[in-house]
Amino acid sequence: MEFFAEYAGFLARTVTVVVAVVLVLIVIAALRGKGRQAGRGHLQVQKLNDFYRSLRERLEQTVLDKPDLKALRKLEGKQAKLKKRAGDKKARVFVLDFDGDIKASATEHLRHEITALLAIATAQDEVVLRLESGGGMVHSYGLAASQLARIRQAGVPLTVCVDKVAASGGYMMACIGEKILSAPFAILGSIGVVAQVPNVHRLLKKHEIDFEVLTAGTYKRTLTVFGENTEKGREKFQEDLETTHTLFKGFVSRYRPKLTIDEIATGEVWLGLAALDNKLVDELKTSDEYLGERAREAELFHLHYAEKKTLQERFGLAASVAIDRVLLNWWSRLSQQRFWQ
């Protein structure tokens, strides 16, 4: 009887977990069916001058004694009043971030941030992009670069800061900047195109498995994963890569005319120090250093477009966490039980 009681308890817990999993799957299916809703995001704006000032003031409060600190604050107050009376208007700097993955997913936010700033930015303002990307899909980074081109077309100065890496598609974006700043050991370049396609045709043939590839159009399919690749298909695939590479070189040359494009468009990468010698960048400087300098003479605004999570998404996340806890607890207790004695 004890065994049946334990088994009944185990069965009840299992049914509970299964029901919970089914509910979560229903929620996920509903979310996928509904798709993304337009206008769910909102623009977050932070004044970076306040951030830099708070850092400085915190340090001053610790280092300076009370009389010196009081005198400093009094002097700062007088200077602020004089500037206000003089009617000095500071330049504006709009700071954006782009952390790129292989699909350049951050473009979805970047496009909205650029649309917002272009509504008020003028030629007297500046846009600073802190860029980090090792590149990815050609069409995805082509779109990301096109978004930055909107800034140049509007006549607003664009500065690109690279602290770690801007390679391949990442450098395609960086080269649009009127000025490219790089950390000394950041990685830049990789102006080339690469494609890798595994092929298991011989394995399938060995096991007498046929795979048919039917096309309408001579080059509808060049290289395949399962079918038998031909020399003609390989040649066409290579031709497409060369065409893309030529377009890539032309794009970079358009925005960086001082580059000797055939010498640097070999797919190689350079560290910041060497990139400066090869004219891939204009100056060696980190984004922190540059923004710190600009904060002394301009108003800095950091823009970030954030997506709002719907009630269903928040519920789905909470349910997922709850199920993980239930499963962990269930497995922990189950491992301590013995059903056969």
Name the nearest CA neighbour of 313 among 44, 24, 39, 112.
24
DSSP H or E run through 265: none
The predicted pLDDT at position 134 comes to 95
Please tell me which residue, 51 or 336, carries the higher pLDDT value: 51
Domain map of the chain by residue range?
1-40+310-341, 93-309
Extract the tokens encoding 150. 């909107």
Pick from 3-12, 56-65, 85-94, 188-197: least confident: 3-12
pLDDT tens by residue, 104-118? 999 999 999 999 999
220, 258, 332, 335: which is the annotated catalytic residue? 220
The predicted pLDDT at position 338 comes to 44
pLDDT at 13 over 90: no
pLDDT at 315 over 80: no
Other CB atoms closer than 10 Å to residue 337's CB: what's the count? 10
Pick from 92-101, 223-232, 286-295, 305-314: least confident: 305-314
Extract the tokens encoding 283. 């100056």
The predicted pLDDT at position 169 comes to 95
What is the rounded average pLDDT of the residues 312-326? 63
Q: Is 220 a catalytic residue?
A: yes
Q: Is 190 a catalytic residue?
A: no
168, 182, 190, 287: which is the annotated catalytic residue? 168
pLDDT at 16 over 70: yes
What is the DSSP track for 210-259? ------SSTTS-SS-SSS---HHHHHHHHHHHHHHHHHHHHHHHHH-TTS
Domain boundaries 93-309, CATH class: alpha beta
pLDDT at 33 over 90: no
Give percent of the chain above pLDDT 90: 53
Extract the tokens encoding 98. 């782009």
Query: How does residue 211 score in pLDDT terms, banded at 50, 70 and 90?
Result: confident
pLDDT at 30 over 80: no
Query: How does residue 51 score in pLDDT terms, banded at 50, 70 and 90?
Result: confident
The predicted pLDDT at position 326 comes to 64
Give percent of the chain above pLDDT 70: 76
Contact 150, 239 (CB under 8 A): no
Query: How does residue 341 score in pLDDT terms, banded at 50, 70 and 90?
Result: very low
Mean pLDDT of the chain: 84
